[in-house]
Chain A
Amino acid sequence: MSPTTWGWLVLLFPLIGTVVIGVGFKRWGRAAGVIGTAAIALSFVCAVGALVTLLGKPEHGRELTSSLWNYASAGGVDAKLQILVDPVSVFMILVVTGVSTLIHLYSISYMKSDKGFARYFAYLNFFVLSMLVLVLGGNFVMLIVGWAFVGAASYLLISFWYRRETATKAGIKAFVINVLGDVGLVLGTFFIFRHTHTVSFLGSFAAAPHVFHHDSTDLVAGCLLFLVGAFAKSAQLPLHTWLPDAMEGPTPVSSLIHAATMVTAGVYLIVRLHPLFQLAPTAGEVGAIVGCATLLVAGTIALVVTDLKRVIAYSTMSQIGYMIMGASAGAYSAALFHLMTHAFFKALLFMAAGSIIGAMAGDQSLDRMSGFRKALPFTFACFIIGGLALSGLPPFSGWLSKDDIIAYLNNRGGVYEVLGILGYVGALLTGLYTFRMIFRAFFGEPSPEAKELEHGHLAHAHTPRNPMTGEEEDNDVGFPGPEHVIAERELPMKVAMSLLAALAVVGGFLQIPGVDHVIQNFLSPALANAPLASAAHEPSNGNAWIGLIIGAVIGLVGISIAFRIYIVRPGTAKRLQERLPALHNFLVHKWYFDELIDVVIVQPSLMLGRFALGVLDRGVINDGLTGGVTGLVRSGGAAVRRAQTGFLRYYAAALIFGLSLVLLYFLISST
């Protein structure tokens, strides 16, 4: 079979899964989990099939498109239902389906007592389908379709527990910001289409060098609008505020969407559109600067957040910042490499977090967790592996991939070198906040829940409460299930986490400077025409190794600071907060981004709406215009109405009146 056939099959299985689970949601019961997992696993198998067949093709023939039918083809638009199978998309489908399979497996246990079990798996399958459409789409329209589907699926999963108001609010926020991103993508497409007259990727890329000058206005505008889409989806400043709130969804969802797949779409977008970004270096610089700013801002916020899942969420933002920075600068293979390793260790961290939250009976507050080291040995081990990979310590995967990006930036020079150095600052913050989280949750005096668990009792909340508002909740449909689970007691969770832990350790070995370059070599046919991806821009092995050593040292320093603050002298954090209240407040309020958006966008639009409704529509249109017109006609027709003739006759009379006006016009105009 050809790679494109495999590509269509990759899409087919999640589609079948969604439909089958969705239609029979009442019948399947617990079987829905198995069906959903099997669908994604089959999709992964097909992705491997696509990989094998693609590698069987000669290097110059590894960009294949296939279309089913005309999707929208009229008035110059030439959108087909089309996929593009090339090394970039195959790389993405492998990561997406691989990690998603494990998360589906984990969810079978994690969600087992939830009343919305089948609905959950239908959504989850739909999400994977959307993400696959996004990465396989062969033209801008397909990309936008996948892009929006991902936003919709994310909305559905964030507000999965839809009777919690915090969840529905988070859902609508995520959705609207994502729609803003869709609009960016649509407008960006218009700017490109205006010159290339095609929506297909390969057609646009081929035409771009001929129709666009270097850094021409329309191209830069288009690329910047694409970046708006990327920032919205990948939670980059200032469109990031939805991601921390998205932690309202079930933990495996955070793991799947808000770490391993959805948020990486922005990185994929830049890599996919690299032939355009290459011609618009200004847009690339903007992307890199925003990525760098995000990684620092998110890193600092993660230092003070007390919700376990949100710490990891901010860490995701920060890590995606590295990828966006790298992809914008031209480090395509490094960015995708980090995307992959990050998917492994971040999915792992979220799954481990889910296990602690299970042990805490749904409570996510770091303030209440401590000393879980003995109670949850397996979870602890996973957390340590994930934490070390995230902090970039050798030989874990995050070390090799993150420093690959920084080495490229430093090698490229100019403004990028500054960004690379700031990347090291981010690495210091990463080590610090990661181990702050680990030390607080696993070390110190065991919390009551941890103590009970050491005696074999898993805590169960007597009255389930919303961790955000403290509001009491029942356990019916639309709320979290009554029972909680920990990885130690559930085989599917254990299997999923062990596999991810193994990948988080060895995943980096795919690309070691001077040893092997599996990812770079695999991607190179797709990047053949990209000057920025040529060997001239890649750092030498020596420089790469120097970077790796610096990165490892900085990560270690970050961890030692955390060790000093939280283990050696446990009161230090409190004292720091008291000494620097302004800074602490600033960080606790997340740099006031939510407040800023509220004041600048939300309140004015609401005011406009109220003004339109209250003053203008009621006052001007209804009373003024309508009242005026109707009043005028009414007084004229009062006599007729009084005679009980009704409107029809009045209407007929008015028609005659109109006709006579017409006749009058001709009489006047003919003279």
Chain B
Amino acid sequence: MAGPPTPQQPVSLHVDRIRCDGYGMCAELLPELIELDDWGYPIVRPGAVPDELLDHAVRAVDVCPLLALHLRAVTASRAA
């Protein structure tokens, strides 16, 4: 069933700051890319998520109780 390997499109993490309520679970699961400020809100390292951290990033997105963390494709305009 597996098709030919397609090159992974680079993705980056984005926090919806209106929704985020500082539960901090994302930083627990992905400390490589997310740290918490003094009030417990996430600071995300900008740029594309490295391939080896992709599974962890997906899990961090999944665990957010407020659906405030997203993975988005890195577009040319954003990357610039």
Real binding pair: no
